[in-house]
Structure 1
Amino acid sequence: MAKTLPKQSGSNGAGGTLVPWLGIAVIVILADQLTKIAIAKIFSYGEGRAITSFFNLVLVYNKGAAFSFLSAAGGWQRWAFTALGVVAALVICYLLKRHAAQKLFCTALALIMGGALGNVIDRLMYGHVIDFLDFHVGGWHWPAFNLADSAITVGAVLLVFDELRRVRGAR
């Protein structure tokens, strides 16, 4: 008699394939890097251009983390944030493999991983992150950011939404 082998497809949410999720991360990385290259070729450091009444493109560098946190820390932050991004990507790969059937959860993680690695690439290549999206409304002005930061933010929002949905479904 033939033996039946256990399923390896990840249909139960564990042990699934990483390919679609890594594909999303790679798309984020490519879009992020291509836009940064384009902005760096078009603009000089600090140069900007108004696009609308609330949005500018401007080339700025960020040696720190979000909102330039620790940007003047003396250089160690480059390696700390690089290591943090790499460790986060490894943990995310583990979670993606384990929960591959949870599409929204994995999409969120893939966006976060792509954004984190996009900024890691900048830190390794340039020693800083290239930011260029500059929004302002009235007297409010947000720090400039990039597509990697946007992917991380969208991924975080999707994680919260997914968890709220999961909690509500458990009731």
Structure 2
Amino acid sequence: MKLRNSAFIIFLILIIDQYSKVFVKTNFILGDQVQVFSWFKLFFIENEGMAWGTVIPGEYGKLILTIFRILAVGAIGYWLLDATNKGKSKYLIIAIALIFAGALGNIIDSVLYGVMFDDSHNKLATFFPQDNYGTWFHGKVVDMFYFPIVEDYMMPSWVPFIGGKEITFFNAIFNVADFSISTGVGILIFFNKKAFAPVKLPANVKFSKLDEEDFI
């Protein structure tokens, strides 16, 4: 699989991800919900940390987290380039491209959104305002997709630990970038053998013993 194909996947995901985030950010007030189907809502929240709102405490926690994300994306980008140059499996290359695109999409939020938007509390945010809500590297990640397939279900009292409590399944709120990362990881898990299959060389390619050792 050629690098330009991976670049197209990454570009497409970034466009969809950023368009959806900017649309929600400029048309929803923080906490707004729109019922699309009984099992699907658009629910605008902002995530200051990693998955499930995990944060690094302290004055420089957000900055450290953003820098870590940038370094991680750099490593993933190198992995993608290396896998492409070595002719690795399409499963592997597509998975890496999806993970790279998702990670980069959320980095854009973290790096830029603090200066691109003003606050979304009790009002619609504006694009490139005079009074932005944050600084460089201190933006919040926009999440909006909510799939409460089972919502406010009361568990029977006899169920251990959660008996008599209301539960919601699935209660995570995510964005296109998160979905891209999850899909890429899913490919690596469920198609592991195909993703990490040895590179198949053309039948007419012959190596000397020294070449074979170098190749391995």
Provide TM-score, normalisation by structure 2. 0.64
- SS at 1:142's partner residue? coil
2:186 to 140, 157, 161: 157
Say yes or no: does 1:115 pair with 2:102. yes
Deviations 1:121-150 (A, max 9, x none): 001122110001112123315131100000
Contact (CA 8 Å) 1:64, 1:77: kept in 2 or not?
no
> Structure 1 residue 77: deviation in Å?
3.5
Counterpart in 1 of 2:145? 133
User: What amino acid sits opposite 1:128 in the alignment?
Assistant: K
Residue 5 of structure 2 corresponds to 20
| Cα 1:80–1:26 shift into 2, 3 Å | farther
In the other structure, the counterpart of 2:176 is 147
Shift of residue 168 of structure 1? 8.6
Structure 1 residues 139-148 or 127-136, which shifts more?
Answer: 139-148
CA 1:78/1:28 → structure 2, altered by over 3 Å: closer, same or farther?
farther
Per-residue CA distance 1:87-108 (angstroms, 9 max, x = gap)? 2222222222222122110101
Structure 2 CA distance for partners of 1:18 and 1:168, relative to 1, 3 Å: closer
| TM superposition shift of 1:26 | 1.7
**Bigger proportion of residues as helix:** 1
Match 2:93 to one of 93, 103, 106: 106
- Tell me the residue number matched to 1:8: none
The answer (yes or no) to whether the contact 1:78–1:128 under 8 Å persists in 2 is: no
Residue 10 of structure 2 contacts residue 100 of structure 2 at CA under 8 Å; is this kept in 1? Answer: yes
- Deviation, 1:17, is 5.1
CA distance in 1, matches of 2:81, 2:197: 25
SS in 2 for 1:99: helix
Deviation at 1:83, TM superposition (A): 1.9
> What is the distance in 1 between the residues matched to 2:197 and 2:81?
25
Alignment deviations for residues 57-109 of structure 1 (CA, whole Å, 9 cap, x no partner): 011100011011127x3453322332222222222222222221221101011
Name structure 1 gaps, 5 residues minimum.
1-15
Deviation at 1:155, TM superposition (A): 0.5
